Structure 1
């Protein structure tokens, strides 16, 4: 039986056997473009039929763009948080426009601040960092309220998910220094409904949260403050991307 050691207490660079994460990664997969996921759904006026040459989006996006509701805000926040983590693994000059794409226009200072935390460019221009967030639960107040919100509305969202951080490999083998660490967190964010859809306008530092118990592991001091999970496991919470 192996010990469970969270990233918050783990020595830097230490490898972690996380085979159970692979299934999560495969299930979640890669996402679609930002605007396909976070634009609110507004029915278009009837008009002549047109033929589109655009690439079809994933089924979840084709079924309807995220609505301008409290639940839509939560789904958008989960998606934007995932995209932000992905942007932050790229070199700073490439990360900046990716970060700006998920930030509200009136929060440009936040984009500059976050871009400062991106890794430095390598001689080849490639990233050597793996940084990813997998959101398992999301909460907003009045998530069941179907009322359509006005542009400019801000919604507070809380997510519960797994943050991964490590170094990449050459695709054929892992060097001794290659490591992947992870930790479960509760993250408070605020999203704003803009003319072009939901965007991040504020976010706090993620708080270490109790991980799910995993069969065959032992706890060794990981955070167990279950009060942190009151909202993200409560009646106004859900799995992001699922029907109401």
Structure 2
């Protein structure tokens, strides 16, 4: 075969290969985009937000569950407010309470500390009766919250031989109302806590009488949760 009869095809083949590669790449992008479009968006549940302002946790989501966590955090913060100065204590109340509700939430403010004392309130469980816990709460809507709290107090300077030495306190159901306002939960009211049997008591009270089990029905239900855990 003479050189005149030989015709190189390299120049034609390269543009053709490049075109095929471009088509394959575009097809891959289209398939990927179609797959992403057909995949349902993953639902992200708002979780406890750890932000502190003036010693008070804030940033809870605008859901009944977020309102429950906020009420628990506010209850514990106010219980320890007795160790603060009067100015700092009032600033905390102003931050937590809704407008005009300062006096209504004062029952949650812990007593002023005198000497070497211990005073602490711990919220063990929270529940919001008759509410969709993850529903979005409209502006200025209120949510009723109930909490199982343990309150302890005692003096650290007492002698072990003192019959009055040690920790005093008990278990209570604390009811409170919070309002979703301007992207924040604010405390509206706080009722007087109701004593409940301690968790290690079963069957009867210490005096042998029957226990009121109704408060524990809500505490032990599947709708209650430890604050800040969900």
- TM-score band by shorter chain is 0.5 to 0.7
Q: Under a length normalisation based on structure 1, what TM-score does the superposition of the two structures give?
A: 0.60
**Match 1:213 to one of 200, 206, 211:** 200
2:170 paired with 1:183: yes
- Tell me the alpha carbon deviations over residues 142-195 of structure 1, each in whole angstroms, 9 at most, x when there is no partner: 45442211221111000012111222459xx97956532120101111111122
Q: Which sections of structure 2, spanning at least 5 residues, go unmatched?
A: 1-49
Q: How many residues get paired?
A: 177
Secondary structure at 1:37 match in 2: strand
Q: Aligned to 2:68, what secondary structure does the other structure show?
A: helix
Counterpart residue number, 2:57: 37
Q: Deviation above 3 Å: which 4+ runs of structure 1?
A: 34-37, 89-94, 111-115, 142-145, 173-179
Which secondary structure state, in structure 2, belongs to the residue aligned with residue 130 of structure 1? strand
Partner of 1:226: 213
Structure 1 residue aligned with 2:19? none
Q: Is the Cα contact below 8 Å between 1:95 and 1:118 reproduced in 2? A: no
CA–CA distance in 2 between the matches of 1:166 and 1:90? 18
The Cα RMSD (Å) is 3.4
Taking the aligned partners of 1:212 and 1:101, their CA distance within structure 2 comes to: 33
Give me the whole-angstrom Cα distance separating, in 2, the residues matched to 1:151 and 1:128.
44
CA distance 1:93–1:67, shift in 2 (3 Å): closer
The aligned counterpart of 1:88 is: 82
In structure 1, distance between residues paired with 2:179 and 2:152: 26
3-state SS of 1:193 partner:
strand
Q: 1:53-72 to 2 correspondence within 5 Å?
A: 66-72=60-66
More helix by share: 2
Partner of 2:104: 110
- Give me the whole-angstrom Cα distance separating, in 1, the residues matched to 2:65 and 2:152: 26
Q: Which one scores higher on RCO, CA 8 angstroms, separation ≥ 6? A: 1
Q: Kindly state the Cα deviation for residue 204 of structure 1 after the two structures are TM-superposed.
A: 0.7
Match of 2:126 in 1: 138
Provide Cα deviations, 1:69-94, integer angstroms capped at 9, x if missing partner. Answer: 01111111111111110113445454
CA contact (8 A) 1:96 1:111 kept: no
TM-score (normalizing by structure 2)? 0.63
Give a deviation string over 1:55-77, Cα, whole Å, max 9, x none.
Answer: xxxxxxxxxxx210011111111
